[in-house]
Amino acid sequence: MFFLALCSLPFTLYAAKIYPSAGSTSATFLKIGVGARAVAMGGAYTAISGDPYALFWNPAGLAVVEDKTLVFTHNEYFAGLSQEYMGYNFPGSGIRFFPGRLKNGVMGLSMNYLYTGKDLERRSGDYESDPLNPISPMEGEFRAYDLALSLGYGFNYSRDLKIGAALKFIRQSIDTESGSSAALDLGMLYDFDLFGRGVTAGFAAQNLGPGIKFIDKRFPLPLTFKAGLSRRLYEKSLLMSLDVSKPIDNYPSVAVGLEQQLGGKLFLRSGYRYRQHGNESGGWSGFSMGFGFVSGRFSFDYALSPFGDLGNTHRLSAALRFLAPKAPVLKERGEVVPAANALSSANTLALSFEQKPLVVSQRGITYLVKASAAGAGADAAGSSPAGDQASDGIPAQGRERQAAPEPFFENGSIVSLAFITLMHGEGRAAVTLAEGSLPKTLLEKFPVPSGPLKAWQLLSMSGGLNGNIKFVFSLVKDPPAGEPVLYYLVKGGWEKTEARTVSCGEKNRFYSASAPFSTHYALVVK
């Protein structure tokens, strides 16, 4: 339905007005969008992360690209022009000179090439005034091309903030004349909650540089500033994005993009971009639409963009991912967890897992994972790590209305946990959790002098965690215990989260607490 809504926009409310300094910049091919998915969404892509084409749209989005990925786009442009784009992304962990947090980022390389489809004949016109033979002979071939080579990097500055930058080498050639320059792109992404929903805000400054000199005159680059928002709706099956951009050689424009997931692997997309004072090639020139298909490590996308009397443009994109899913190494303060922080007298918890696919996208499959302790029952993990009301996350045997014998859990035992994870392709999600005593290095900074009742260390987790982990743990009723508080390790110390009572059985009282990703958790009863 949203595609019909976009088609019904009032495309002809305003007559197009030409910007006073239009056409005054060089390397305008840098404004031609790449990636069929982004173009089909109207170019409203500043606040979308995890896409291999983030190097072009907002380099901060590279921080979420987890696999080595090769991408290619062909653009059958109008007026006999063609565009090719090739990119490759890979983790920056192997780059030795990157310090601290920079090691956890993603590097991107790309080539953007716009060219005439075939060489044209060069004719000077010197003989056109000859009344006997007014046709000028061919004096060779004429060709033109634009080329940009980019090197970019994006990393997680914090859990919610991503930062990225890209350096470009630009070259333009027209017949026998050519010019070169360099430019810089800067970007950032910030995740926050708005009315209980996760929203991503993005900002990008593109083509910061000195311009290109042709013969004896230097022309500025198409410097552009962009800001955008993106948000997933309807159980994350619908992605909506909004962009506002202002290039130095044109009026501001607003773009909206939508992507609807259908049947798990198929995606329909549409978008519209409207420029202040009207679109130059007519109202329909701001419209775009397309589709995408994901199968394992391979994805394919198509986009159609009309340009009025100039004709339609068609983009075909393909992406190939090289790394298979694997359990990440858990880290603390940007480094691998040191042996001195390992739990003493630790035992690995026996957990049974079940998972439910929520969203299938180009990045992978998002699962809701439920893990239950032995004897906890099938529904012990609850329905949502965020504490939704659909389930209290307590084992059926622990509810007073259940007639079956209730199992007994030790004081402070983890009964279940639930989390949402992103995996690349179909796989089995799992988490390895050890239970034991905090070592001296962590006890020294623990805020409660008497120490915790129980402590856990997260050893490994498949996929990437999306949101918090919801824990359900138990306290014995006889003798009665106090109120529990769950602590988790952060940079510089410990943070706490309050627990709430969710159920009370004959032998145990069950509590629920939600905490972000950490390598260590500890339970205190006050």
In-domain check, residue 135: no
The pTM of the full predicted model, rounded to 2 decimals, is 0.62
**Would you say 488 and 494 are in contact if contact means Cβ atoms under 8 Å apart?**
yes
In degrees and rounded to multiples of 5, residue 102 shows phi and psi of -60, -25
In-domain check, residue 126: no
Q: Per the structure block, which two tokens stand in for 11?
A: 């495309």
Identify the residue with better confidence: 145 or 336.
145
Last residue of a domain, one of 264, 286, 321: 321
* Judgement on whether residues 395 and 468 belong to the same structural domain of the protein: yes
In-domain check, residue 131: no
Cis before 10? omega within 30: no
Cα separation of 423 and 507, whole Å? Answer: 38
In-domain check, residue 220: yes
Residues found in the chain: 526
3-state SS record for 210-252 = CCEEECCEEECCCCEEEEEEEEEECCCCEEEEEEEEEECCCCC
pLDDT tens, position by position, 6-56: 444 444 444 578 877 777 898 999 999 999 999 999 999 999 988 889 999
Cα separation of 261 and 279, whole Å? Answer: 29
Identify the residue with better confidence: 39 or 390.
39
In-domain check, residue 243: yes
* Judgement on whether residues 185 and 304 belong to the same structural domain of the protein: yes
| Dihedral over alpha carbons 337, 343, 346, 349 (to 10 degrees) | -60
Q: Taking residues 94-121, report their average pLDDT.
A: 78
Task: Give me the pLDDT at residue 521, please.
Answer: 93
In-domain check, residue 195: yes
Task: Give me the pLDDT at residue 427, please.
Answer: 67
Supply the CATH number for residue 7's domain.
2.40.160.60
Cα separation of 27 and 104, whole Å? Answer: 33
What is the SS3 assignment for 489? strand
Q: Taking residues 201-223, report their average pLDDT.
A: 92
pLDDT at 233 exceeding the cut of 90:
no
Q: How confident is the model at residue 401 (pLDDT cuts 50, 70, 90)?
A: very low
- Stated as kind and residue range, the H or E segment containing 96 is none
The structural domain count of the chain equals 2
Domain assignment of residue 150, given as a range: 2-121+140-321
* Judgement on whether residues 411 and 482 belong to the same structural domain of the protein: yes
Identify the residue with better confidence: 361 or 310.
310
* Judgement on whether residues 243 and 194 belong to the same structural domain of the protein: yes
Q: How confident is the model at residue 131 (pLDDT cuts 50, 70, 90)?
A: low
Task: Give me the pLDDT at residue 8, please.
Answer: 44
Beta strand segments in 77-118, E: 81-91, 106-116
Q: Tell me how many degrees the CA angle 428-377-366 measures, rounded to the nearest 5.
A: 30
Task: Give me the pLDDT at residue 254, please.
Answer: 96
In-domain check, residue 127: no
Q: Tell me how many degrees the CA angle 169-162-101 measures, rounded to the nearest 5.
A: 90
Q: Per the structure block, which two tokens stand in for 124?
A: 């000077």
* Judgement on whether residues 9 and 157 belong to the same structural domain of the protein: yes
* Judgement on whether residues 340 and 235 belong to the same structural domain of the protein: no
Last residue of a domain, one of 256, 286, 321: 321
**DSSP type of residue 162:** E
Last residue of a domain, one of 321, 342, 360: 321
Percent of the chain with pLDDT over 70: 79
How far is C-alpha 459 from the geometric centre of its chain's CA atoms? 25
* Judgement on whether residues 303 and 348 belong to the same structural domain of the protein: no
Q: Taking residues 374-392, report their average pLDDT.
A: 44
In-domain check, residue 128: no
pLDDT tens, position by position, 415-448: 888 888 877 666 677 788 889 899 888 888 899 8
* Judgement on whether residues 300 and 368 belong to the same structural domain of the protein: no
* Judgement on whether residues 153 and 255 belong to the same structural domain of the protein: yes
**Would you say 211 and 181 are in contact if contact means Cβ atoms under 8 Å apart?**
yes
At 450, the amino acid letter reads S
Identify the residue with better confidence: 104 or 287.
287
Beta strand segments in 263-394, E: 266-275, 287-295, 298-306, 312-321, 331-332, 335-336, 344-348, 351-361, 364-373
Q: How far are the Cα atoms of 18, 339, 487 from residue 362, in angstroms, in the given order?
A: 38, 37, 35
* Judgement on whether residues 336 and 472 belong to the same structural domain of the protein: yes
* Judgement on whether residues 352 and 204 belong to the same structural domain of the protein: no
CA atoms within a 13 Å half-sphere pointing along the CA-CB vector of 185: 34
Q: 169: closest CA among 150, 144, 153?
A: 150
Q: 500: closest CA among 516, 512, 485, 515?
A: 512
How far is C-alpha 256 from the geometric centre of its chain's CA atoms? 18
* Judgement on whether residues 381 and 310 belong to the same structural domain of the protein: no
